Amino acid sequence: MSESALARDQADSLTQLRELFQLPPGVVYLDGNSLGALPRAVTAAVKDAVEHQWGDDLITSWNAHDWIRLPNLVGERIAALIGAGPGQVLCSDSISVNLFKLLATALELNAGRRVILAVDEDFPTDAYIAQGLSGMLGEDRCELHRVAAQDVQAALSDDVAVLMLTEVNYRSGERHDMQALTDAAHATGALVLWDLAHSAGVIPIELDRIGVDLAVGCGYKYFNGGPGAPAFLYVNKRHHAQARQPLSGWLGHQDPFAFVADYEAAGGVQHYQAGTPAIISMVALNAALNVFQKVSIEQLREKSLALTDFFMEGLESRDLLASLKCITPREHRRRGSQVSVRYEHAWGLCQALIEAQVIVDFRATDIVRFGFSPLYNSFADAQKALDVLEDILVSGLHLDDRFTTRPTVT
């Protein structure tokens, strides 16, 4: 390890947080932007939920252990991390399902407008959900219009019902200006729906202060809630009186245990809960959020920028890494918590890094992502990743035939 990395880690006030995670010895894990590492507290919480709450207390746990309120309780904990006041965030379903709910809400709130405006470069599922909604409603009521990121403001016509954007681009790690784009959309009468998948838990977010209308995010990336962890949604309280959503399930009813024949929506954000919550995975996410009681988002952002600065400077200082094109912005205000590089042989390079126990990920067609989670990643991690990356490029290991086959999940 270089003296620089060692000194940075020794001076880091957040170093002790790493001990709260179960990380395999010898592994450098730089994929927390895709699946967060396992917090140690989660293992005990899930064990108790399975063996004691479910195993011993059975169905009485809905009341005895407050299972019924977990979507709200977890939602409120997430709300504190994304700048949302009480009663506006619910933990439920997946991002995709929540996008469907909220896009339908936006179209109804902004009746008379039909366009969902999105960015070409954003994660495809956002557009897929909009396309599905358009196919169901017909283009006279819902049409997806996609533009390049730099053309968003120019595309905000008086037919746009809602602008749908991801705060941090999943491929490049570039961050949008949430305040500026929210203000621009509102100036034209459009609502705004932000996808916080790659920013919640690692970047300070101020949904209420900025005046965001709607938002979604996931629990399995920087919140470390585990594979398939529940997502969350946000509905600004100014819309609660008029907002409706199409998935009118029983736990979104104002009195679900009355079992009446007709649906009457619960008030506020509650009616966005449709079906029975996934308790075991929600228990895991709830336990994972305990880590955030020990640190502020501002501290995490400071370390995230320091880690990504260190890594980007390392890329720039080594001649052998010149063949990699860094596509993540150097400006702090425009950067998330990852560093992405383009490379002709990106797939093989990614697999060679993983074989050398530096876990990163690949995004088609030619991107390798190095994701930094400031809760557990160190400057030593960044240093080792740079060293291994250089060794692989020198040896040409990534060009080996065994790195040509791609599995189902890439």
Question: Which residues have CB under 8 Å from 327's CB, separation 6+?
Answer: 171, 172, 173, 174, 340, 341, 342, 367
From the list 77, 101, 369, 384, the catalytic residue is 369
Alpha-helical segments (H) within 239-378 = 279-288, 297-317, 346-355
Cα separation, 121 vs 149, whole angstroms: 7
For the question of residue 221 being annotated catalytic, the response is: yes
Name the residue among 124, 150, 116 with its Cα closest to residue 334: 150
- CA 217-237-91 angle, to 5 degrees, is 30
Q: Residues 136, 107: contact at Cβ < 8 Å?
A: no
Strand arrangement of the beta sheet that strand 160-166 belongs to = 89-91, 232-235, 214-217, 191-195, 160-166, 115-119, 143-147
**Cis check: omega of the bond before 365, within 30 degrees of 0:** yes
Paired residues of 369 in beta bridges: 340, 361
From the list 114, 171, 175, 221, the catalytic residue is 221
From the list 9, 93, 122, 195, the catalytic residue is 195
For the question of residue 146 being annotated catalytic, the response is: no
Cα separation, 187 vs 233, whole angstroms: 24
From the list 18, 69, 123, 387, the catalytic residue is 123
User: SS3 for 301?
Assistant: helix
Which amino acid type is present at position 405? T
From the list 220, 292, 376, 379, the catalytic residue is 220
For the question of residue 123 being annotated catalytic, the response is: yes
For the question of residue 195 being annotated catalytic, the response is: yes
Q: Residues 41, 287: contact at Cβ < 8 Å?
A: yes
For the question of residue 220 being annotated catalytic, the response is: yes
The number of beta carbons lying within 10 Å of the beta carbon of residue 263 is: 12
- CA 228-232-237 angle, to 5 degrees, is 175
Which are the catalytic amino acids? 123, 195, 220-221, 369
